[in-house]
């Protein structure tokens, strides 16, 4: 097998160089995210497939090597859930900028400061906070402003009273999302050096910890497990659930979550098998009167 000459090596490297990402690319990525937002919604990854589909044109411009492109796809396919415009807009733009820096570092074969963990922790730290802001402002305020404007038209029998809130709010969301995506991309142009600072690293770590707290809150809110076990001791009633609540409220849902996590860490992310095992165990415990 012939060795590549210096000219061939330089030519190959130039051919595989990442292309420059423009505001037009970022706008296209946001529009793809906007219109595919809830379509590929999955339980394991939530909205990550939508984000990956949005980012695909950007990633293909950046990574010419198949292995690098595959790694970028996997990086953007991790669990993701946020609000459509505030969270989705900012993060789509920011991820485009950070992927640009990562692609340049890989192509130039310099130290990778834009690591996978850094990008995901940034995304995970922002998605919850921005979702809360976006839901409060968009769904809790702006939407009702459009409705309030249209009420007099609807009362007078004008069809515009029914159409205006939907059309106006839809256009608002597209425009505000594009604005945030562009701003996120512009801000993220200096993300590579900014993210290396100790202050930002500490902030990301704190946001990651906050994200873990939020996951715990969600688990306690959505996982309902209680014990029906009750009997008498020396003529006095003993209710197991009341005793557990007085010691550590929510201990049973926590035990279920930790048990599933332990199963995943030992057996891998085999969701269907875990659900079948969990269903079988709960049926047995319910049958003997423990749950």
Number of other CB atoms surrounding residue 23 within 10 Å:
14
Q: Is the pLDDT of residue 105 over 80?
A: yes
The angle, 0 to 180 degrees and rounded to 10, between the axes of the packed helices 66-76 and 48-62 is: 150
Mean pLDDT of 136-165: 85
For 22-38, the pLDDT digits (tens) are: 999 999 999 999 998 88
Region 99-118: mean pLDDT is 87
Q: Which residue has the higher pLDDT, 204 or 168?
A: 168
Please give the average per-residue pLDDT across 135-152, as a whole number. 82
pLDDT in tens, 209-229: 665 666 666 666 667 777 777
CB-based contacts of 139, cutoff 8 Å, min separation 6? none
Q: What percent of the chain has pLDDT over 90?
A: 20
Buried residues in 138-164 as b, exposed as e (16+ CB within 10 A): beeebbeebbeebeeebeeeeeebeeb
Q: Kindly report the pTM of this predicted structure.
A: 0.62
Question: Rounded mean pLDDT of 268-285?
Answer: 80
At CA 130, angle to CA 186 and CA 176, rounded to 5?
55
* Residue entry with tokens 């000459």: 5
């Amino acid at each position: 097998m012939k060795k590549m000459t210096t000219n061939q090596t330089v030519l190959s490297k130039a051919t595989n160089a990442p292309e420059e990402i423009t505001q037009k690319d970022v706008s296209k990525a946001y529009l793809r995210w906007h219109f595919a937002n809830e379509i590929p919604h999955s339980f394991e990854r939530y909205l990550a497939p939508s984000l990956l589909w949005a980012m695909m044109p950007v990633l293909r411009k950046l990574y010419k090597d198949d292995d690098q492109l595959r790694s970028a796809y996997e990086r953007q396919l991790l669990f993701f859930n946020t609000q459509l415009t505030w969270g989705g807009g900012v993060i789509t733009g920011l991820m485009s900028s950070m992927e640009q820096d990562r692609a340049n570092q890989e192509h130039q074969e310099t130290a990778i400061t834009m690591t996978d963990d850094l990008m995901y922790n940034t995304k995970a730290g922002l998605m919850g906070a921005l979702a809360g802001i976006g839901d409060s402002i968009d769904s809790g305020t702006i939407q009702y402003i459009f409705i309030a404007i249209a009420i007099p038209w609807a009362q007078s029998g004008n069809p515009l009273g029914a159409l205006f809130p939907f059309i106006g709010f839809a256009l608002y969301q597209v425009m505000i999302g594009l604005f945030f995506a562009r701003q996120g991309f512009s801000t993220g142009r200096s993300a590579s050096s900014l993210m290396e600072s100790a202050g930002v690293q500490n902030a990301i770590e704190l946001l990651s910890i906050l994200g873990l707290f939020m996951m715990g809150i969600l688990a306690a809110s959505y996982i309902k497990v209680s014990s029906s076990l009750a009997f008498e001791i020396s003529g006095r009633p003993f209710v197991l659930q009341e005793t557990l609540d007085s010691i550590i409220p929510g201990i049973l849902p926590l035990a279920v979550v930790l048990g599933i996590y332990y199963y995943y860490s030992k057996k891998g992310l085999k969701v269907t098998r875990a659900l079948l095992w969990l269903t079988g165990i709960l049926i047995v415990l319910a049958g003997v009167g423990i749950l």
